[in-house]
Amino acid sequence: MKFSLKHKNVLVTGGGSGIGKAISIVFAGQGAHVHILELHLDNAKDTLTEIKRTGGLATSYACNVANQKGVNSVVETILKTGNIDILVNNAGIAHVGNIENTLESDMDKVYNVNIKGTYNCMQAVISGMKENGGVILNMASIASSVGISDRFAYSMSKGAVLTMTYSIAKDYIAHGIRCNSISPARIHTPFVDGFIEANYPGNEKEMFENLSKTQPIGRMGKPDEVANLALYLCSDEASFITGTDFPIDGGFIKLNG
């Protein structure tokens, strides 16, 4: 079978919702044992139920990726069951605002989850991967490489996710570790519904339409579409790919304008 993840231990952060949930389900369907690190363990229950219903293997752990001690302790627990072959750094939070209305506390919050969370997870798994090889996939964004209005703190964080990807890919290429990132445009997940609700109350429908149209293809992406790209990049079929970012954007970066 192509794209098999049989006997692979995969760690997915934020696997309880949206893109992370789709990745967890798709990877488990390919035979992986999926370990979900989730801030909201209740969310992860749904993912686990879905995976187990189809005979897959998954375990969830309550974990705030921004907390290094917490991440290290969960990773130690997982390592007792075997090597971690694949890490998917997916957990992330949104923030809307330009530099004038972005508070210091907003910057810290977005930094702690999106940047430090990614760092914490990579730091926790890297020594094991140095011995056995592995794959790291980071969830960046179109905001990593093009200007998106009103996303000052978020863009800062996703730019860092992209450049951390290049740094890890370079430093660990000789150890058999591949590191890539995915840059989605708007994907329809609770993350999108949540920030529309919070930031455009009363205008939800109009904002949803507007955000759909910002992709030249005319709609938002689906979590499964991202999960299938993630599967390819984490599979042995992608063994020649490292240090690369993959936009999945309905034409957003190259076809707008």
Ligand X SMILES: NC(=O)c1ccc[n+]([C@@H]2O[C@H](COP(=O)([O-])OP(=O)(O)OC[C@H]3O[C@@H](n4cnc5c(N)ncnc54)[C@H](O)[C@@H]3O)[C@@H](O)[C@H]2O)c1
Catalytic positions, written as ranges = 154
User: What is the footprint of ligand X within residues 61-100 (CB under 6 A)?
Assistant: 63-66, 90-93
Instruction: Give the residue carrying structure tokens 């939070």.
Output: 93
Which residues sit opposite 198 in a β-bridge? none
Q: Does 187 bind ligand X (CB under 6 A)?
A: yes
Q: Name which of 109 and 130 has its Cβ closer to ligand X.
A: 109
Q: Minimum distance between the CB of residue 174 and ligand X, rounded to whole angstroms?
A: 28
Q: Minimum distance between the CB of residue 119 and ligand X, rounded to whole angstroms?
A: 13
CA dist 24 → 15, 48, 196, 237 (Å): 6, 9, 25, 19
CA dist 6 → 57, 179, 183, 237 (Å): 10, 20, 26, 13
Q: Name which of 135 and 187 has its Cβ closer to ligand X.
A: 187
Lookup: tokens for 23? 């990745």
Distance CA 225, CA 229 (A): 7
User: What is the footprint of ligand X within residues 95-134 (CB under 6 A)?
Assistant: 113, 117
Q: Minimum distance between the CB of residue 44 and ligand X, rounded to whole angstroms?
A: 7
> Which stretch, 3-11, 39-47, 103-111, 171-179, contacts ligand X (CB under 6 A)?
39-47
Strand arrangement, sheet containing 86-89: 57-62, 33-38, 9-13, 86-89, 134-139, 177-184, 245-248
Site residues (vs ligand X, CB under 6 A) = 13-14, 16-20, 37-40, 43, 63-66, 90-93, 113, 117, 139, 141, 184, 186-187, 189-192
